[in-house]
């Protein structure tokens, strides 16, 4: 069992991230054809910073999904807060492209990187996932509670859905 934070950098280093992502997207679409009559299910796909350098990525995803007769709205494009900050201008263009094509955009692990509220204000995202490091101690740590409340307030102002990680 190898964690993604171990194998993804190796795949990226060898220039295979695009090929692997394409293979995974095709496999997901094959499986979704079986499930597409189930009401309202969504599939999340995590993207790395290197993938977001490809300004044709949203169109490529859309073309692949259409080939299987599926809808873009079934797919959540997930990027971490850290990924969002790596090449902010290119990432914004890519996320806007995904958004225009009907994909759902999710910012994962929010609160762990160096994103400012001002930067988040300019991101076209539908979902904000608060990092579990704030959620774990929300009852016993008043600062974590205030941070989560602040993030939720911002998300509500942007009409974003909020997901709290590690609530289990």
In this predicted model, what pLDDT tens digit does every residue of 10-38 receive, in sequence order?
998 999 998 999 999 999 999 888 877 77
Which pLDDT value is given to residue 94? 92
Which pLDDT value is given to residue 3? 85
Which pLDDT value is given to residue 62? 98
Low-confidence ranges of the chain (pLDDT < 70): 113-119, 168
Which pLDDT value is given to residue 65? 96
Does this model's pTM top 0.85?
Answer: yes
How many angstroms separate the CA atoms of 124 and 114, rounded?
18
């Amino acid at each position: 069992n190898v964690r993604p934070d171990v194998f993804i950098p190796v795949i990226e280093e060898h220039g295979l991230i695009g090929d692997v992502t394409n293979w995974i997207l095709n496999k997901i679409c094959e499986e979704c054809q079986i499930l597409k009559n189930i009401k309202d299910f969504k599939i999340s796909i995590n993207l790395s910073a290197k993938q977001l350098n490809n300004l044709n990525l949203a169109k490529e995803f859309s073309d692949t999904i259409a080939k299987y007769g599926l809808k873009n709205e079934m797919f959540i494009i997930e990027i971490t807060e850290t990924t969002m900050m790596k090449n902010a201008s290119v990432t914004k263009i890519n996320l806007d492209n995904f958004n225009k094509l009907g994909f759902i955009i999710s910012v994962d692990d929010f609160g762990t990187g160096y994103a400012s509220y001002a930067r988040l204000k300019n991101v076209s995202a539908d979902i904000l996932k608060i990092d579990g490091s704030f959620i774990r101690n929300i009852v016993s740590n008043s600062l974590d509670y205030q941070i989560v409340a602040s993030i939720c307030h911002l998300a509500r102002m942007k009409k974003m859905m909020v997901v709290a990680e590690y609530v289990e």
